[in-house]
């Protein structure tokens, strides 16, 4: 009896120590698991306004004014410059369409980088909306493409180049899968994202057959000198960690009547952008006179992004003047 009593008190002391050790090491583990919180800067959690903000479509004029002012303040705090941020609405009687002439494109990637400069993407890690695929002549098999080509000069012999970006599909899978309608199509045919509403589930990224969506896995690496102050709510305002983004036909430019950055920088004039509802626009004429096709027609996404070849294809070997070696890799 005494034995067992002794045992009992021993055990209770021991079990007390034991559970104490358990609890304190558990607390320690819990505390260190919260370590990332130490890295938070005062402004990181955003303010309460952005937290309780409504979905873009449910915001009133004054709500939007308020949101724009908040974003402008945020940007100023983060990048020490006052952005010119607006909320441009779709224009009446306008539906944007892109057309790309594959017999002109030489794969120089100027569009890729002009896009990055225009749209405030993260520079490191790199986020780019346009991907230029290099493909051997005579195939349209994307599995055979390479977007990491690094050559002394382009175009390489017997290859052609196919830039791919968001196709602004009429029947957009990304819009359908979004569980919270953070991405939707507007009247001018552009699929937009409310970055404040996106929860980062990346369903849309998985659903897109053109790999057009990009996810901010980390806090975007954008520095003050790279910020483009001409911003629009649904397009190129700075994003944050954990949201999806993609090409939006440069809404901050196109809804103000200008051309997308990728179009204006293209040195070959392969890129064409315009309003299909206007029968005199270049894109309408291309759709009428050229043999256009869309990528992955079989998935029935009805893209607003068309590719075409001119009659002369394949191109004659380009001038050998700047191409001692074709940079064959």
Q: Binding residues for ligand HEC, per CB under 6 A?
A: 104, 268-269, 310, 312, 315-316, 318
Beta carbons of 70 and 49 less than 8 angstroms apart: yes
> What is the DSSP track for 263-311?
HHH-TT--EEEEETTSTTSHHHHHHHHS-EE-TTGGG----SEEEE--S
Q: Taking the CA atoms of the chain, what radius of gyration do you get in angstroms?
A: 27
Residues 294-313 within binding reach of another protein (CB under 8 A): none
Report the nearest approach of another protein to the CB of residue 69 (Å): 29
Report the nearest approach of ligand HEC to the CB of residue 104 (Å): 5
List 143, 179, 224, 298, residue binding another protein (CB under 8 A): 143
- Which region among 1-9, 44-52, 116-124, 170-178 touches another protein (by CB under 8 A)? 116-124
Specify the residue, 72 or 318, whose C-beta has the smaller distance to ligand HEC: 318
* Residue of 130, 214, 205 lying closest to 175 (CA atoms): 205
Specify the residue, 104 or 304, whose C-beta has the smaller distance to ligand HEC: 104
Any contact of residue 106 with another protein (CB under 8 A)?
Answer: yes
Beta carbons of 47 and 73 less than 8 angstroms apart: no
Specify the residue, 78 or 113, whose C-beta has the smaller distance to another protein: 113
The binder of 114, among ligand HEC, another protein, none, by C-beta within 5 to 8 A per type, is another protein
Any contact of residue 67 with another protein (CB under 8 A)?
Answer: no
Residues 77-96 within binding reach of another protein (CB under 8 A): 96
Any contact of residue 329 with another protein (CB under 8 A)?
Answer: yes
List 175, 281, 294, 309, residue binding another protein (CB under 8 A): 281
* Residue of 219, 192, 191, 226 lying closest to 120 (CA atoms): 226
Q: Which residues pair with 307 in a beta bridge?
A: 100, 293
Size of the site for another protein (CB under 8 A): 82
Any contact of residue 62 with another protein (CB under 8 A)?
Answer: no
Any contact of residue 173 with another protein (CB under 8 A)?
Answer: no
Any contact of residue 215 with another protein (CB under 8 A)?
Answer: yes
- Which region among 81-89, 179-187, 191-199, 321-329 touches another protein (by CB under 8 A)? 321-329
Beta carbons of 307 and 104 less than 8 angstroms apart: no
Residues in contact with 212: Cβ distance below 8 Å, sequence separation at least 6, in sequence order: 129, 164, 165, 166, 167, 246, 247
Any contact of residue 110 with another protein (CB under 8 A)?
Answer: yes
What's the rounded Cα separation, in Å, for the pair 30 and 25? 9
Specify the residue, 71 or 127, whose C-beta has the smaller distance to another protein: 127
Any contact of residue 9 with another protein (CB under 8 A)?
Answer: no
Beta carbons of 96 and 304 less than 8 angstroms apart: yes
Report the nearest approach of another protein to the CB of residue 179 (Å): 20
The binder of 189, among ligand HEC, another protein, none, by C-beta within 5 to 8 A per type, is none
| CA end-to-end distance (rounded Å), the chain | 87
Any contact of residue 289 with another protein (CB under 8 A)?
Answer: yes
The binder of 65, among another protein, ligand HEC, none, by C-beta within 5 to 8 A per type, is none
Residue 172 DSSP symbol: -
**What are the distances in angstroms from CA 294 to CA 99, 102, 152, 177, 302?**
10, 12, 30, 22, 8
Residues in contact with 70: Cβ distance below 8 Å, sequence separation at least 6, in sequence order: 47, 49, 50
Any contact of residue 44 with another protein (CB under 8 A)?
Answer: no
Any contact of residue 22 with another protein (CB under 8 A)?
Answer: yes
């Amino acid at each position: 009896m005494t034995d067992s009593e002794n045992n009992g008190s021993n055990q209770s002391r021991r079990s007390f120590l034991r559970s104490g050790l358990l609890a304190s090491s558990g607390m320690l583990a819990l505390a260190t698991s919260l370590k990332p919180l130490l890295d938070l800067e005062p402004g990181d959690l955003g303010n309460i306004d952005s937290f309780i903000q409504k979905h873009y479509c449910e915001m009133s004029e004054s709500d939007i004014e308020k949101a724009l002012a908040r974003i402008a303040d945020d940007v100023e705090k983060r990048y020490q410059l006052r952005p010119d941020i607006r909320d441009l609405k779709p224009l009446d009687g306008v539906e944007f369409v892109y057309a790309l002439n594959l017999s002109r494109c030489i794969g120089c990637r100027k569009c890729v980088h002009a896009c990055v400069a225009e749209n405030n993407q993260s520079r490191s890690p790199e986020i780019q909306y346009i991907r230029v695929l290099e493909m051997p002549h005579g195939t349209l098999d994307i599995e055979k493409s390479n977007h990491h080509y690094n050559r002394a000069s382009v175009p390489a012999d017997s290859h052609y180049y196919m830039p791919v970006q968001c196709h602004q599909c009429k029947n957009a899978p990304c819009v359908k899968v979004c569980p919270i309608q953070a991405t939707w199509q507007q009247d001018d045919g552009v699929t937009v994202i409310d970055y404040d509403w996106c929860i980062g589930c990346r369903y849309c990224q998985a659903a897109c057959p053109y790999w057009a969506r990009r996810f901010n896995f980390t806090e975007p690496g954008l520095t003050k000198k790279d910020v483009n102050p001409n911003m629009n709510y649904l397009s190129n305002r700075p994003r944050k960690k954990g949201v999806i983004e993609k090409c939006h036909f440069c809404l901050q430019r196109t809804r103000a009547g200008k051309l997308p950055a990728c179009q204006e920088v293209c040195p070959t004039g392969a890129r064409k952008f315009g309003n299909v509802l206007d029968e005199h626009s270049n894109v309408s004429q291309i759709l009428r006179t050229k043999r256009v096709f869309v990528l992955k027609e079989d998935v029935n996404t009805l893209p607003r992004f068309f590719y075409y070849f001119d009659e002369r294809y394949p191109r004659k070997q380009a001038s050998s003047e700047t191409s001692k070696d074709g940079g064959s890799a």
